[in-house]
Amino acid sequence: MICFITAGAAVKESGLPREELFITTKAMTTGYRATKLGIDNSLTEAGLDYFDLMLIHWPMQDDLGTYRALEEAYQAGKLRSIGVSNFNRAQLGEITANFQTVPVLKDLAAKYDHTTAQVMLRYLTQRQIMVIPRSTNPAHMAANLNIFDFALTAADLARVQALDEKFSLSGWPSSMTLDEDY
């Protein structure tokens, strides 16, 4: 909890208008009640009215209940964006099939009429980061090249940047290897 108190103090001490900051956090709970309480406690401890982005940190027992709490908080204005992290395609599909509010990258993909992979590739190229996507699927290879007919806005670049968790991909659970057909 110290992290929320410190983050809230840093926001206040910065002197910057709140709307110029993009604050991301993760739900480290499972299920509706625990997550709903966790969101309110985190906001109170941080001394903030809203978070710009909240992610479900990792698939757990009750992801649908957890996401329902995030969606309600989003609709109430407590969260500006919601999403998931470390979910494989099947797990993400379960979320998108059951809720109206789609995770950030799905939302951006729909906005730009491209796939989530194309949005990520475009994000990286706009940031001048060299990208070498791997695929043996001809349709995916063609889609990977079709990223230069749109550009992400500065706000959308910031939304994607906020997803960066700054940790190694090693040690992922075996369920993450289900997406081997890319």
Helix (H, G, I), strand (E, B) or coil at 124: helix
> Which of 20-29, 62-71, 123-132 holds the top average pLDDT?
62-71
> Could you give the strand order of the β-sheet that contains 24-27, starting from the edge strand earlier in sequence?
24-27, 53-56, 82-84
pLDDT surpasses 70 at 174: no
Cα–Cα distance measured from residue 95 to residue 82, given in angstroms and rounded to the nearest whole number: 12
Helix (H, G, I), strand (E, B) or coil at 130: coil
Give the pLDDT score at 164.
65
DSSP assignment string, 35-50: HHHHHHHHHHHHT-S-
Q: For residue 111, how many other CB atoms are within 10 A of its CB?
A: 13
Confidence of residue 87 (pLDDT cuts 50, 70, 90): confident
**Residue that wins the pLDDT comparison between 177 and 5:** 5
pLDDT surpasses 50 at 182: no
Smallest CA-to-CA distance from 101 within 129, 59, 69, 142 is with 69
Render pLDDT for 7-51 as a digit per residue (tens, 0 to 9): 778 888 888 888 777 788 889 899 999 999 999 999 999 899 999
Least confident of 21-35, 66-80, 100-114: 100-114
